[in-house]
Amino acid sequence: MPHRLDTVIRHYVLTSENLAATSGELHEWLGVGQGHTHTYTLEYGFVNEIMMVGNSFIEVGQPIWANHRLHGVLEDRGGECAQMVVLQTQDCYQLRERALARNLTLTKDKKFQGQKVIQFDPEVFGTRLETYEYDLPDGWWTGRPETYTQSTIVKDIVGADVAVHDPEAIAAATADVFQAELDAGANTVRLGGNYLKFVPANGWQGLTTLHLTPLDPARRGDTKTICGTEFRFV
């Protein structure tokens, strides 16, 4: 058996047509305060806010350039949506080697904010998966955890649903490339303490649902759709 590298989910990225409105809904539903914004995103044509929920982050981005690729994402999905899962791995080199050996398409393979980053074409795993290396073992470029206001409603984001046309095959491929634990019967890949569950697509493919553990067990089963994404308390 090869050595299994620890890969964890760090945050989930939503694309909004109105950052202020989406952030306001998230603040209220998740019980979080104002998150971090980054001025460097202006150089890339979008504005953002990152908020911390448990040990995970949610990033909301809004394109401000007329020709920004996120407009294409909004058009393809017919509106606002969740469009990416960001992960952190111990060795981007080995991840790249496994990806190239399987002829997988990379849309990024460079450095960003001082860290190595690899991004997979969304056609590979049903949604964009962007992976950074562990250059900061005690932190993350989104900002140190103690600088965020923690949620008063949610304990953590424990997983997400990704709609794909072949859940069994995509789950197996994801587990293989990321050397992650696979629950084959449920088409679920476990990455650190969280998971990606691959479910049948009804038309388009993509990240559809975030699963959150509420601090109050009585809230389990509650759902709300924000930015075209279902937030489900489990």
Query: What confidence tens digit (pLDDT) does each residue in 88-104 have?
Result: 998 999 999 999 999 99
Band of residue 1 on the pLDDT scale cut at 50, 70, 90 = very low
Biggest CA–CA distance in the chain, Å, is 49
Is the residue at 47 inside a domain? Answer: yes
Domain encompassing residue 80: 8-233
CATH number, domain of 197, equals: 3.10.180.10
How does 74-87 read in b/e, with b if 16+ C-beta sit within 10 Å? Answer: beebeebbbbbbbb
φ/ψ of residue 163, rounded to 5: -85, 125
Model pLDDT, residue 65:
93
Q: Which residues contact 88 (CB under 8 A, 6 or more apart)?
A: 7, 8, 10, 131, 132, 133, 134, 140
For residue 35, pLDDT over 60 is answered with yes
Is the residue at 1 inside a domain? Answer: no
Model pLDDT, residue 188:
98
Is the residue at 3 inside a domain? Answer: no
Section 73-102 average pLDDT: 94
Is the residue at 19 inside a domain? Answer: yes
How confident is the prediction for the chain on average, in pLDDT? Answer: 92
Is the residue at 2 inside a domain? Answer: no
Section 208-212 average pLDDT: 98
Band of residue 139 on the pLDDT scale cut at 50, 70, 90 = low
Q: Residue 224: helix, strand or coil by DSSP? A: strand
| DSSP conformational letter for 204 | S
pTM over 0.75: yes
Model pLDDT, residue 2:
43
Q: Residue 165: helix, strand or coil by DSSP? A: coil
Query: What confidence tens digit (pLDDT) does each residue in 143-192 have?
Result: 778 889 999 999 999 999 999 999 999 999 999 999 999 998 999 999 98
CA–CA gap between residue 1 and residue 3 (Å, rounded): 7
CA neighbor of 160 nearest in space, from 189, 182, 131, 118: 189
Model pLDDT, residue 38:
86
Band of residue 56 on the pLDDT scale cut at 50, 70, 90 = very high
Model pLDDT, residue 3:
43
Total domains in the chain come to 1
